Structure 1
Amino acid sequence: MARQARYSVGPAALVAAAFIGPGTVVTATLAGANFGYALLWALVFSVLATMVLQEMAARLGVVTQQGLGENIRAAITRPVLRWLAVALVLAAIVVGNSVYQGGNLTGASLGISDLIGSDQARGLTPLALGILAGIILWIGSYRLIERVLIGLVALMSVAFIATFILTRPDWGPLLTGLFIPSLPVGSILTVVALIGTTVVPYNLFLHASSAAQRWQSADQLPAARRDLLIAIPVGGLISVAIVATAASAFFGRAVSLEGAADLGQSLHPLFGDAATWFMATGLFAAGISSAMTAPLASAYALSGVLGYPRDLKSWPFRLTWLAILIIGITIASLGIRPVSVIWFAQVANGLLLPIIALFLLWVCNQPRLGSYRNSMSQNLLGGVVCLIAVGLGLRSLASAFGWLG
């Protein structure tokens, strides 16, 4: 048993699968194409910040044997504040993920289109992929979901790192970009976007609930932390590989990149079929993994704050993720661009991220956690990350209301 725990990879892989989605692929690609290797340090920072928050979420789940939603419900006793928390979770996690689910399925469909070299099946592909994700979630086996997502993270790792190698990066500037922060002109919003695609509130719900299901005793916290130390840096490495690939392929060249559809095809004239295939495979894996984790996280979050059982086979749980999946399939199949709903989700997410980050810091200092409360160093690190979360939230609101110009 000890040997198994030592090499265990589990819930943190779900987090990595969740934050490496088509939106992250596009954000990282544009960062590399526009600024070369200069912003890689932002990914290093975002991975460290993610690990600080996700360690708190995992510890909370393992020690209390409850998800973050349940802890919010238990901690907030006043009905008005509790319903405000429910409204924020519903708006940012459930509504937001419903909209972004369309992008996840679209990204996976684009990857398949590039792999088979045809756009003819693109209209039906989101439906097929949505049904595939739905079948896996409907079975209701946490271990099955975990193994599928670990496999998709492994596939992403191979695909994006292989693409990175094929594009022959310039190692000097790459290492400089990783370890020496710089802010080229016009890059500040891209830095915020890179951090914001990694440090996301719904992963805190996902990690706390999945850690509570995977480990049943606080004595197993070392296994949870080892899991975190493996999976989150792997997700960060994938993001670094995407930025570096784009820097090698597009920085300083007159190449127009507007979205995920342009990535694989733009690599073809420079590096041949293999680079296009690897990028397409990575985009498919990123899309389908996020298409599974977004509905799952939403179901965990809403079930928790409403007091429903955290049972993958319960009807409230299934109806939540099923609704998000159906909305995502519709958006991806019809090519809908729900600008107003995305705006609403962006506002709600800007409010929720700092609130959830601050709640985590607060609840991880509660006496009921006993010796598993935050240490002084954890509080210091958590405070810094919470300040960053507040900044990200303000930026999200400023962007949504057009205050950024």
Structure 2
Amino acid sequence: MSEQEAIPKKGILRLWRALGPGITTGAADDDPSGVATYSIAGAQFGTHLLWMSWLTWPLMGTVQMMCARIGMVTDMGLAGVFRKKFPRWLVGIASLALLIANVINIGSDLAGMADAANMLGLGSTHLYVVVFGVGIAFAAIRLRYHQIAVVLKWLALVLFAYVATAFIIRPDWSSVLHAAVIPQWPRNHDAWAMVVAILGTTISPYLFYWQAGQEVEEQNAKGRRLMRHHHAVPDEDIAFRRADVALGTLFSNVVMFFIILVAALTLGAHGVTDITTTRQAAEALRPLAGDAAYLLYTVGIIGTGLLAIPTLAGSAAYAFAETFDWTYGLDRKFPQATSFYAVFALAILAGIMMDFLKIDPFKALFWTAVINGLLAPFLLVGVLLVASDRTLMKGQPSSLVSRVCVGITTILMFAAAIGLFVF
């Protein structure tokens, strides 16, 4: 083999090994809240919001890469670097807001998973909320999350059932392309709420903290943190992470596109515009799987929930640990990071308790996305300020293009939030 042939193969092998936090984050983004939100969007508004899928991909990708770069360059998670830039009390408020939003998200995801399992006649929803919640907390504390995520992220591939279903239905692709390319202005309060929800479930606050925190853990796991404490992050490492994030966010947004499309063509086209149950949402997969649509939907919801809930609880634990100088990391054993794991377990426990408040699980999944959409732009302001600070970023700030893109994302999310309250 010639040297010229060996180099590309070596590069491809390194890229494959570098895939990790970005892919996991992209898979976790299509959590039960996301699937529910996209299903409601398609059923209620048809294909009118398909254009958001190509808009959110570069926005989400740039935001996640900016957070990844912060973690790689500073060797700190978001809360840790925020403390270098802002007063501790402000960082504490942001961490508390994140915890509250994540608890609501965890509770909604657990309820959605349990509701999907109950749809198959497998037992009480309350029982499954407890089983899923306790099981996730125990597995994350006792095992290494990275080992779990390697397996769980493949369960998210079940969501490609929506892609297969779309081709089975054979829509008018010219009309679909038109809806995907030509944006339609939201016309009422419900439409604005849906725009906020889609932005919130795609560009989610917990993913900001998670991405940065995972970069720190990656460096620790590879033993690089101390070795390059005074050295710049190699451009090659940043390039590989950029590819990782791009692939993960592409997966997330492709899935979003096809869930909205399939829900529009199966549910909305047949007059089911107000989805209130998991069973109704699962009907979208009937053209592909028939009566097995319920099983397919359940596997997808439970798989993405098992991946997303540790991400939600973990991001809140990262935020609090760095705010209050606790030892932290999912790669550490419980006695080494007791306070970190206490927040992790508390977030899941609080999510379990939400189920006993008799909140409608499917509506909760949607409104969780709205809450994230309202919180995200405030956090993005902080992310942007940190990523632009040459001192904090050790001479490796995010590029001007990235900062402009994240700035546009922030403005769009603030505008959507204003539209929700004005129209």
Amino acid at match of 2:212: A
CA contact (8 A) 2:39 2:260 kept: yes
Whole-Å separation in 1 of the counterparts to 2:193 and 2:348: 30
CA gap of 1:355–1:181, structure 2 versus 1, over 3 A, is: same
Q: Which residue of 2 aligns with 1:108?
A: 113
1:365 correspondence with 2:411: no
Q: CA deviation at 1:122?
A: 2.6
Amino acid at match of 1:60: I
CA contact (8 A) 1:170 1:248 kept: no
Q: CA deviation at 1:19?
A: 2.2
Unaligned 5+ segments in structure 1 are: none
1:6 correspondence with 2:10: no
Identical residues among aligned pairs (%): 25
Which shifted more, 103-112 or 318-327?
103-112
Q: Which residue of 2 aligns with 1:226?
A: 243
Whole-Å separation in 2 of the counterparts to 1:130 and 1:390: 33
Q: Which residue of 2 aligns with 1:381?
A: 405
Amino acid at match of 1:153: A
Q: Which residue of 2 aligns with 1:39?
A: 49
CA contact (8 A) 2:45 2:264 kept: yes
CA contact (8 A) 1:10 1:150 kept: no
Q: Which residue of 1 aligns with 2:203?
A: 199
Which shifted more, 197-206 or 176-185?
176-185
Q: Which residue of 2 aligns with 1:285?
A: 303
The 3-state SS of whatever aligns with 1:363 is helix
Amino acid at match of 1:201: P
The 3-state SS of whatever aligns with 1:248 is helix
Q: String of CA shifts for 1:264-322, please: whole Å, max 9, x gaps.
A: 14654997224333223222223222222111111111112222123223111110110
Whole-Å separation in 2 of the counterparts to 1:359 and 1:25: 28
Amino acid at match of 1:5: R
Q: String of CA shifts for 1:136-189, please: whole Å, max 9, x gaps.
A: 211252421431442233343x34334444444432222222222123644333
Alignment of 1:101-140 (within 5 A): 101-114=106-119, 117-118=120-121, 120-140=123-143
CA contact (8 A) 2:283 2:294 kept: yes
Q: Which residue of 2 aligns with 1:208?
A: 212
CA contact (8 A) 2:77 2:209 kept: yes
Question: In structure 2, which of residues 52, 76, 79 is the aligned counterpart of residue 69 of structure 1?
Answer: 79
Q: CA deviation at 1:327?
A: 1.6
Whole-Å separation in 1 of the counterparts to 2:34 and 2:250: 15
Whole-Å separation in 2 of the counterparts to 1:350 and 1:276: 29
Q: Which residue of 2 aligns with 1:171?
A: 173
Which shifted more, 386-395 or 245-254?
386-395
Q: CA deviation at 1:86?
A: 0.4
Q: CA deviation at 1:336?
A: 4.5
TM-score, normalized by length of structure 2?
Answer: 0.82
CA contact (8 A) 2:317 2:343 kept: yes
CA gap of 1:331–1:184, structure 2 versus 1, over 3 A, is: closer
CA gap of 1:164–1:280, structure 2 versus 1, over 3 A, is: farther
Whole-Å separation in 2 of the counterparts to 1:346 and 1:153: 19
CA gap of 1:164–1:329, structure 2 versus 1, over 3 A, is: farther
CA gap of 1:297–1:231, structure 2 versus 1, over 3 A, is: same
CA contact (8 A) 1:354 1:390 kept: yes
Q: String of CA shifts for 1:247-270, please: whole Å, max 9, x gaps.
A: 110223222412434211465499
Q: CA deviation at 1:241?
A: 1.5
Q: CA deviation at 1:56?
A: 0.5
Question: In structure 2, which of residues 20, 30, 33 is the aligned counterpart of residue 23 of structure 1?
Answer: 33
Q: String of CA shifts for 1:167-218, please: whole Å, max 9, x gaps.
A: 4443222222222212364433322321221111111000001022224462
The 3-state SS of whatever aligns with 2:388 is coil
Amino acid at match of 1:188: W
Unaligned 5+ segments in structure 2 are: 1-9
Which shifted more, 263-272 or 344-353?
344-353
CA contact (8 A) 1:38 1:183 kept: no
Q: Which residue of 1 aligns with 2:4?
A: none
CA contact (8 A) 2:213 2:318 kept: yes
CA contact (8 A) 2:26 2:245 kept: no
Whole-Å separation in 1 of the counterparts to 2:76 and 2:323: 11
